[in-house]
Amino acid sequence: MSEINKAIRGTGDVLPDQSYKWQFIENKMIETARLFGFKEIRIPVFEHTEVFTRSVGDTTDVVQKEMYTFEDKSGRSITLRPEFTAGVVRSVIEHGLVNCALPVKTCYVGACYRYEKPQAGRLREFHQFGVECFGASKPTADAEIITLANTILENIGIKNLSLEINSIGCPECRKVYHAALKEYLNSHSEELCDTCKGRLERNPMRVLDCKSPICSKIASAAPVMLDYLCNDCKEHFDGVKAHLSAADIDYKINTHIVRGLDYYTRTVFEFVSGDIGAQSTVCGGGRYDGLVGQMGGPQLPSLGFAMGLERLLMVMESQNVEFKPEQPCDVFIASMGEKAEIEATKLCCMLRDEGFCAVTDITSRGLKAQMKYANKIGATFSAVIGDNELMHGSCNLKNMETGEERQVTLPDGLVEAVYDFQINSVFEDLSDSVEGIETLFQNK
Ligand code: ATP
Ligand code: MG
Our answer on whether the CB atom of 330 is closer than 6 Å to any ligand 1 atom is: no
Beta bridge partners of 105: 133
Whole-number pLDDT of residue 433:
63
The angle at the Cα of 376, spanning 370 to 381, to the nearest 5 degrees, equals 70
pLDDT digits (tens, 9 = 90+) for 14-54: 999 999 999 999 999 999 999 999 999 999 999 999 999 99
Question: Alpha-carbon distance 253 to 181, whole Å?
Answer: 20
Q: Which of 14-28, 290-304, 323-337, 338-352 has the lowest mean pLDDT?
A: 323-337
| Mean pLDDT, residues 277-281 taken together | 90
282 CB near ligand 1 (under 6 Å): yes
**C-alpha of 423 from chain center:** 34
- Record the pTM: 0.91
Q: What is the mean pLDDT of the chain?
A: 94
Question: Predicted confidence band at 429 (pLDDT cuts at 50, 70, 90)?
Answer: low
Residue 313: what pLDDT? 97
Query: Ligand 1, atom 9: nearest CA belongs to which residue?
Result: 284
Q: Is 314 in the pocket of ligand 1 (CB under 6 A)?
A: no
CATH topology of domain 3-170+230-318: BirA Bifunctional Protein; domain 2 (3.30.930)
Ligand 1 atom nearest to 121, measured from its CA: 29
Burial of residue 178 (number of CB atoms within 10 Å: 0-12, 13-18, 19+)? middle
Decide which of 3.30.70.270, 3.40.50.800, 1.25.60.10, 3.90.1150.10 is the CATH code for 331-424: 3.40.50.800
Within the chain, how many helices (H) and strands (E) appear? 15, 16
pLDDT of 425 above 90: no
Report pLDDT for 211.
Answer: 83
Residues 238 and 226: their CA atoms lie apart, in Å, by 11
In the chain, where are the structural domains located? 3-170+230-318, 331-424
Q: What is the mean pLDDT of residues 341-353?
A: 97
- Cα(308) to ligand 1 centroid in Å equals 6
Mean of pLDDT values over 341-363: 96
Give pLDDT tens digits for 54-113.
999 988 989 999 999 999 999 999 999 999 999 999 999 999 999 999 999 999 999 999
- Which run of H or of E encompasses 80? strand 77-80
Identify the band that residue 436 occupies on the pLDDT scale cut at 50, 70 and 90: low
Ligand 1 site, residue 256, Cβ cutoff 6 A: no
